[in-house]
Amino acid sequence: MTDIFVARTKNKESIIKNKDQGESNMNILASFCKDPKGVSFQTQKHNETIILFLRAHFITNLYWIIISFVLIVIPLIIAIFSSVFNIRFFSDPLISHFTTVYVLFYYLIVFSFIFINFLHWFYNVFIVTSERVVDIDYSDIVIHNIAVTKLDHVQDVNYTQSGFIPTLFNYGNLFVQTAGTEINFEAPSIPKPREATHIIGDLIGKT
């Protein structure tokens, strides 16, 4: 009997390809992700798998989101005031041309402010792999710093969670202490710090 409908089967090669690359199971804005797929970093080894992906809690962005909102609204408030009080300062063609350019430039700077702050949050990540701890810092627009240590160099891991807002949203600072002269690692304001501490602690125990 002839088939009326035959479901499409995926090509075997494409399945293997997807398995190797790992289809992403991670939300792009996630702050805490166990065994993320589709995430990799530059110095990652072939057999090295990412166990934990951390970045600051999204609520930590609130201060610059509020500042941005205020900056966006300020020219609108000035425009409303000038129309309500009938200020004729901007009616001069030359001044209105300059004002147009400055307002557009102002919004371009606000756009950059938002973009840079978002990048600062987005690329400040802390990764725990099967072999190493990787701390990627994007502290300024022209500075980025990458620190790496092997898991067997990690001596202690602990966290602090203090304050009303960190307790409410369950985030805190994670500290990874390393042996000898190597630098200590800090992952500030990460969500579920206790769970992250346990995961790293278990990994240290395994190695």
Burial 51-81 (b: 16+ CB within 10 A, else e): bbbbbbbbbbbeebeeebeebeeeeeeeeee
- Return the structure tokens found at 142: 């022209």
Which of 67, 72, 136, 199 contacts another protein by CB under 8 A? 136
For residues 36 and 193, which CB has a smaller minimum distance to another protein in the complex? 36
Beta strands at 132-140 and 125-129: parallel, antiparallel or unpaired: antiparallel
Q: Smallest gap, in angstroms, from Cβ of residue 19 to another protein?
A: 16
Is residue 123 within 8 A of residue 144, CB to CB? The reply is: yes
Q: Which long-range contacts (CB under 8 A, 24 or more apart) does 58-62 make?
A: 58/29, 58/31, 58/121, 59/165, 59/169, 59/171, 60/121, 60/171, 60/189, 61/117, 61/118, 61/121
Please, is 176 exposed, middle or buried when counting C-beta atoms within 10 Å of its C-beta (0-12, 13-18, 19+)? buried
DSSP SS3 for 105: helix
**With CB under 8 A, what is the number of residues at the site for another protein?**
32
Q: Smallest gap, in angstroms, from Cβ of residue 112 to another protein?
A: 7
> What phi-psi label fits residue 180: left (phi over 0), alpha (psi between -120 and 50 degrees) or beta?
left
If one asks whether residue 144 binds another protein (CB under 8 A), the answer comes out as yes
User: Which residues in the 72-111 window bind another protein by CB under 8 A?
Assistant: 94, 97-98, 100-102, 104-105, 108-109, 111
For residues 149 and 166, which CB has a smaller minimum distance to another protein in the complex? 149
- Return the structure tokens found at 195: 């769970």
Q: Smallest gap, in angstroms, from Cβ of residue 23 to another protein?
A: 9
Which of 123, 139, 165, 179 contacts another protein by CB under 8 A? 123
Binding mask 16-55 for another protein (x = CB under 8 A): --------x-x-x---------xxxxx-------------
Which of 51, 52, 56, 125 contacts another protein by CB under 8 A? 125
For residues 39 and 78, which CB has a smaller minimum distance to another protein in the complex? 39
By the criterion CB under 8 A, which residues form the site for another protein? 24, 26, 28, 38-42, 94, 97-98, 100-102, 104-105, 108-109, 111-112, 115-116, 119, 122-123, 125, 136, 138, 141-142, 144, 146
